[in-house]
Amino acid sequence: MLAIFKREIQSFFTSPIGYLVIGLFLVLSGLFLWVFKGPFNVFEYGFADLSNFFLLAPWVFLFLIPAITMKSFSEEKKLGTLELLFIKPISLWETVLGKFLGTFCLALIAILPTLLYMYTISQLGVTIGNLDMGMVLGSYFGLLFLIASYTAIGLFASTLSENQIVAFIIGMVLCFLMLYGFESLATVLPNGPIIIFVENLGMKAHFESIARGVLDTRDVIYFISLTLFFLYLTIIQLKNQNR
């Protein structure tokens, strides 16, 4: 697994992919937060907090993560090297986890520079340093869980087609459905407990719950279970293609 992980990281930074992903995330988030006028602009928002960033980041990663993972297995299928995965001395689980951790670490590196936003926002407040750190740290934890789920979904999507563009579109659509689909579905249901149940099937409700600064074990279990579920589907799909 460690060898796969190292190979993934090296492949990101020996080509423009890694730098492009990190640069795109920082540029897009920076422009929307500090330059472009609109609902995400910090100065127009009028409050010294990072809530706009955590509203924007899931949207940006919804496109970036599938773009990173789209070649993970689709390229192997296209080049005819997928069969080599089954004869390597490491298990499929180790291979999938290695690719998963490689992509996750790349996204983590992209997030690290945004910690400067905390200092900047704290200096912009009427009372300098008056920033709800519990909510900010909770939002960062929620974002990490969200990225992990995106990555697992993207890896699964890359096993469904040897065409990277198709894998990207499938991954993006699945991530969107898991993030906003269930909440949208709940709006057309009659009032009652069923609405809350349906909303809790989606990632958005759990991400917002963690972002409030309260780390509920139910939210953590949800994201871990969702991530493992799509990693398991990835393994199943790879095994089916080897038959």
pLDDT in tens, 155-170: 999 999 888 899 999 9
pLDDT in tens, 180-228: 888 888 887 777 778 888 888 899 989 888 887 777 889 999 999 999 9
Q: How many of the other CB atoms lie within 10 Å of CB of 138? A: 21
pLDDT at 99 over 70: yes
The tokens for 37 are 């006028």
Please report, for the chain, how many H helices and E strands are present, in that order: 13, 0
Rounded distance between C-alpha atoms, residue 146 and residue 152, angstroms: 10
CB 74 within 8 A of CB 171: no
Q: pTM here? A: 0.89
| Across 5-19, 102-116, 163-177, 228-242, least confident range | 5-19
Cα atoms found within 13 Å of the Cα of residue 76, Cβ hemisphere only: 20
Name the 3-class secondary structure at 177.
Answer: helix
The tokens for 146 are 């969200």
Rounded distance between C-alpha atoms, residue 207 and residue 242, angstroms: 36
The tokens for 212 are 């409030």
Residues 6+ apart with CB under 8 A from 84: 76
pLDDT averaged over every residue in the chain: 84
pLDDT at 152 over 90: yes
Q: How many of the other CB atoms lie within 10 Å of CB of 144? A: 16
